[in-house]
Amino acid sequence: MPDQRQPSGNPAPEPFFEPIGRDAGQPGTDPAGSPGARDNADDADDGGRTAGPGFRAAVPGAVVAWRVSVASLRFWAVAVGAACATWAVAAGLVWVSAAAEGEQSGSVPAALLIYVLASSLLPAAAALVGMHWGMACQLRRASTGEPYGGFLPAVLVTALQGLVFAVLVLVSLLIQAAAAGGPGSVAVTASGLAAVEGTLFGAMGVAVSALVGRPGLARVVGWALGLFIVAGTLVAGALLVPAVRSEEPVTVALNVHRAADGTPVAYECSQVPAGTVEVYHTERIMWLPAVSPIVVLTMLAGAPGAGQELPGWLSAELQAAADGPRVPCVNGEPRSMDSPRTPLAAAGLLLQAGLTGALLGGAHVAASRRHPPA
């Protein structure tokens, strides 16, 4: 019969059921290829691109990249070359000082002076090497066309490279300490600080490379920033000393307690005026040289209990400059033994960490604009 004949075309499609409610997004309830499945897949892709790899996903790749870098000749050329250059600078400074002083240079053995200078300079070398490795790692990732996934992988690779350099610092300093009879605690402090500085400056290098983009300009900016923090801050602090000079009134000091070097550490002030004196408010500018790794190591190694055998006069001078005027009773203000002292080492590390965070934040914003989520 005519009404029983089937059409000669394709069979009728099976009915399609569109899930509604919470089960719509669960696997197995949405047929493959349906609009809901495609939307869910797109959402997952967008989330992966915008969030970037997490810490657990970044660690294996960073370890692999670190192993590849450590196995390269270029890595060891940079690490060993930087360490040897630092030791050469320390030995050269001691030799020049001995030649200038002549017969008066026999109070401290030359080997011990080299050990002290090298322990002060090696954390700074670790900072500059970390800056170099951070820039190189980020520029290499950008040149190979790797998809943007944040800066955590590059920072982790650089931190692991800095850890290897810190071990090299520890071994070399311990050998010199044994030969010169110096305190081994200074070597441990210097190597620990080298690991921290390598991580912080490596992150700065990663951020600078991501911010600038162009390899040549990024290297110029990164090296300029690293050299300014390591050495330029010391020069700038010294040049700013005349700017904090002033003439201020003082009163007669009573019950003055002085340190071993003669610096007044505690006193009371009367109401009897004693005229005006020249005062240098060095506490206003000491935050600038405190950023340098050289100052941070000096304060850590010269602190009581960290290396009492190390001549601590330099750390005492820096601490006195950070605490305020050395003239007692300026404007009639007394000082007690319990007065708080400026933690120069902690302040320097916090300033470095703050600068690192600011650079990474700016790099993240710049990278988000260059690689907007799809």
Q: Which residue, among 75, 175, 77, has the nearest Cα to 118 in the 3D structure?
A: 175
pTM comes to: 0.79
Alpha-carbon span 115 to 177, nearest angstrom:
7
| Segments of the chain scoring below 70 in pLDDT | 1-57, 101-108, 145-150, 261, 303-312, 371-374
Could you give the count of Cα atoms lying within 13 Å of 183 in the half-sphere of its Cβ?
17
Q: Which two tokens stand for residue 338?
A: 């319990």
Alpha-carbon span 283 to 343, nearest angstrom:
12
Distances (CA, A) of 51 to 44, 139, 152: 10, 21, 12
Backbone φ and ψ of 260, nearest 5°: -60, -30
Contacts of residue 306, defined as CB under 8 A and 6 or more positions apart, other chains included, come to 185, 186, 189, 300
Alpha-carbon span 246 to 288, nearest angstrom:
20
* Cross-strand bridge partners of residue 221: none
Burial of 21 (0-12, 13-18, 19+ CB in 10 A): exposed
Alpha-carbon span 37 to 27, nearest angstrom:
9
Token look-up 């394709």 returns: 10
What is the predicted pLDDT for the residue at 287?
93
What is the predicted pLDDT for the residue at 45?
36
Contacts of residue 95, defined as CB under 8 A and 6 or more positions apart, other chains included, come to 110
Q: Which residue, among 368, 205, 217, 197, has the nearest Cα to 292 in the 3D structure?
A: 197
pLDDT single digits (tens) 98-115: 777 665 555 668 888 899
What is the predicted pLDDT for the residue at 38?
42
Could you give the count of Cα atoms lying within 13 Å of 1 in the half-sphere of its Cβ?
2
